[in-house]
Structure 1
Amino acid sequence: MFTYPQAQKVPAMFIFGDSLVDVGNNNHLKFSLNKADFPHCGINFSNKVITGRFSNGKNAADFLAEKVGLPTSPPYLSMISNKSNENFLNGVSFASGGTGIFDDTDKQDQSLSLTDYFSDVNGELQQHLNSTNLQQFLSKSLFPIVIGSNDIFAYFRSSRLCGKSTPREYVDSMALALNVQLKKRYIYRDECDAEINSWRAKYIEGLKLMLQTFQSEFNYSHFDTNSILTNLIDKPASYGFIEVKTACCGLGHLRAVFPCEPFSACCPNRNDDVFWDAYHPTEAAAHIIVDNMYHDASNYSFPMN
């Protein structure tokens, strides 16, 4: 019979999303070029191990697991060769750098799609737990979803997408597509891109409205990452940061024109920087973001932390 300690209120985390929470799935995609598999990535781990995280160290997935007393959910692709379905009882991560809400956001098949693989894990769990225990297990588990940035970037970089719909139509379709997915289961930084940020805000408005339709079906929390990140940028000293424009690892102007690569320059004092590369926070910034996600009373979380 499946049991877990009463003190362990969250038995597992099943993580879905993009490179902000990828803990190594892309390293197992043989033909993917979108990998964090070189020494800069993981430089802040004690043994400087290359983990596949798009960060100098831990990311938000690691810190959230610590908050609920769990080990970091391992990459799904690292586990599928292991025949013991008990491995999934602590959860698993499907997060993959480059993925989006829409399957064609990653047109080159460089990443895992958002939810295709959860049904396989659910099937494995069904073989190990009876229906009552499985329902209890899943109802107490966390399902963090960090998604949407790549879709918005894809829209503004594609004349084809821009020609097919207006920005409003596109962000509305993002919310609708995520709705379907749930039921089934800084860009270049000299100045922020005002148009992209504006439509990102409108997408968040639509997302909140969509999520409210689920309030009678399950508990959820929407965390406004954009607002806390803006605060880190606007008031860096309050959070212990010095550098908010230049990325820690990358090439070109502000180290943000080209991504972090093996031959990129890498800053020596990574706790001083908000951004690891052109898109991802440093370990220090991710830690602060998750602290706010978990403990925040009302400023960034809706309807609860």
Structure 2
Amino acid sequence: MGRMRSFLLAAALSATLFLLTAANDRTPAVYVFGDSSVDVGNNNYLPGNLGKVNFRPNGIDYPGGKPTGRFSNGYNVADFLAMKVGLKKSPPAYLSLTSDAQMHGVNFASGGSGILNATGRNISISLNQQIKDYEEITRHLKSRVGATAADRFLSKSLFIFSTGNNDMLGFYTVFGLKNATQQDLLIGQLANQFKNQLQTLYNLGARKFVVFGASRLGCVPTLRRAIPSGECAEDLNKLSQQFNKATEAVLHSLASTLKGFSYSFIKVYDIISVVSSNPTKYGFTDLVSACCGSGKFNAESSCTPNATYCSNRDQYFYWDRLHPTQATSRLISNTAFRGRKYTTPVTVEQLADSRRRY
């Protein structure tokens, strides 16, 4: 048994070193942080029943038609970006791991979370805690292959973020947007906190950051339902734009001051705006209602096992009252990967190319 264990350990170490040396050919690993837009099942392991979607019809279009904990009818944007850089899908959920030997990356995202600790408290894993979990992963990696090899590996990996939406939605729900000073304070708080979080990851070896900007939050079905005219909540859309501007400034500042820090900021708001101006061009027939739910805009309830859901899911922009369909996630990821108009300062494809230096 001892000889067999030594053999397996040597084999595992050899595989690890192979991945490390192969990193100059492709992105060696992907690490995902954020909210429900990129969660692949971490919330399944949290206590209680809130913030979970591990039941059908969620996942109806995922391979095997099974619910995975993704807030989607199939894959999400983290999956599609991971596929673009050579993985089969997003790396596994951190809480699903039975060992720390995940050399292709880990997904730490949690539905309901935000940049602030108060966002999603008691139903999700905060972004700060996600970063602490990542630190634990890197500690084991360095102990296994050495600090130098681990740092080289991490410097060529992609760090994907989709966060901030829940912070703004929570603020809007509680306070509304009647006070410009409050809005400015919120955006400033989010920007400062996010900057600190990114710098913490940089100090832990991260160098390549993919950051999804905020979407057109005011147009999600659950908010349209609450407005008599059924139009978007444009004041919340403006807050989203304000957040995006602040996030771009944060990324530019970090890239200007931290050696080797590089990034691709994905202009999700602009992508959605273009799709909204000509939905049929992109294969959509409904940008307003949720595919799964009930009532007005199918947004009066969440996507429960008893909810009705559409058959033409690829033609719907929204899967449930808050989240996009697999078709929408695919479109956003494809556009972000090579679309120079909707990413800055480089595309995700350029950022992922380990031969490039910025």
Greater alpha carbon shift after TM alignment, 63-72 vs 157-166:
157-166
Residue 111 of structure 1: how far off its partner (Å): 0.7
After TM superposition, list the pairs within 5 Å mapping 1:110-125 onto structure 2: 110-114=123-127, 115-125=131-141
Q: Distance in 2 between matches of 1:103 and 1:161?
A: 21
Q: Distance in 2 between matches of 1:199 and 1:150?
A: 12
Following superposition, the deviation at residue 156 of structure 1 comes to 1.1
Query: Which of 30, 35, 43 is the matching residue for 1:13?
Result: 30
TM-score (norm 1): 0.93
Deviation at 1:173, TM superposition (A): 1.1
TM-score (norm 2): 0.80
Q: Which residue of 1 aligns with 2:145?
A: 129
Larger Rg: 1 or 2? 2
RMSD: 1.9
Aligned equivalent of 1:245: 288
> Which structure has more helix as a fraction of its residues?
2
Partner of 2:194: 178
Distance 1:200 1:164 in 2: 14
SS in 2 for 1:281: coil
Q: Give the corresponding residue for 2:223.
A: 188
Q: Which residue of 1 aligns with 2:165?
A: 149
2:345 partner letter = P
How much has 1:162 moved relative to structure 2? 8.4
How far residue 73 of structure 1 moved from its aligned partner, in angstroms, is: 0.7
Maintained 8 Å contact 1:250/1:261: yes
2:315 equivalent to 1:302: no
| C-alpha distance in structure 2 between counterparts of 1:161 and 1:74, whole Å | 37
Task: Letter of the 2:18 partner, please give it.
Answer: T
Count residues with an aligned counterpart: 299
Matched residue, 2:156: 140
Partner of 1:76: 94
- Counterpart in the other structure of 1:41: 58
Tell me the residue number matched to 2:112: 98
Distance 1:68 1:121 in 2: 21
Between stretches 2-11 and 20-29, larger displacement belongs to 2-11
AA at the equivalent of 2:26:
K
In 2, Cα distance between equivalents of 1:25 and 1:46 = 19
Q: Distance in 2 between matches of 1:7 and 1:139?
A: 11
In the TM superposition, what whole-angstrom CA distance separates every residue of 1:155-193 from its partner, at most 9, and x where no partner exists? 111249989961111112111110111112214222111
Contact 2:177 2:235 in 1 (8 A): no
Aligned residue in 2 for 1:292: 335
1:61 aligns with 2:72: no
Out of 52, 56, 62, the position equivalent to 2:69 is 52
Judged with a 3 Å threshold, the aligned counterparts in structure 2 of structure 1 residues 161 and 57 are, in CA distance, closer, same or farther, namely same
Instruction: Please say if residues 168 and 199 of structure 1, whose CA atoms lie closer than 8 Å, have aligned partners that are also in contact.
Output: no
SS at match of 2:263: coil
Aligned residue for 1:174, secondary structure, equals helix
Asked whether 1:223 is paired with 2:266, we answer: yes
Q: What SS class does the counterpart of residue 274 from structure 1 fall into?
A: strand
Residues 58 and 91 from structure 1, CA distance in 2 versus in 1: closer, same or farther, beyond 3 angstroms?
Answer: same
* Aligned counterpart for 2:314 among listed residues 259, 268, 271: 271
Tell me, yes or no, if the aligned pair for 1:11 and 1:141 is still in contact at 8 Å.
yes
d(CA) in 1 for partners of 2:287 and 2:77?
18
Where does residue 18 of structure 2 map in the other structure? Answer: 3
Mapped to 2, the partners of 1:192 and 1:236 lie a distance apart of 16
* Runs of 5+ consecutive residues of structure 2 not aligned to the other structure: 1-13, 202-219, 225-229, 348-358
Counterpart AA for 1:99: S
Which piece of structure 1 moves more, 226-235 or 241-250?
226-235
Separation in 1, partners of 2:177, 2:45? 30
Q: What SS is found at the alignment partner of 1:16?
A: strand
* Residue pair 2:70, 2:76 contacting (<8 A) in 1 also: yes
Q: Which residue of 2 aligns with 1:86?
A: 101
Moved more, 183-192 or 216-225: 183-192
Q: CA deviation at 1:129?
A: 1.7
The answer as to whether partners of 1:27 and 1:37 remain within 8 angstroms in 2 is: yes
1:203 maps to a residue whose letter is F
- Report the AA paired with residue 131 of structure 1: A
- Tell me if structure 2 keeps the 8 A contact 1:42–1:55: yes
> Do 2:23 and 2:153's aligned partners in 1 also have CA atoms closer than 8 Å?
no
- Per mean C-alpha deviation after superposition, the further-off stretch among 92-101 and 151-160 is 151-160
Identity %: 34
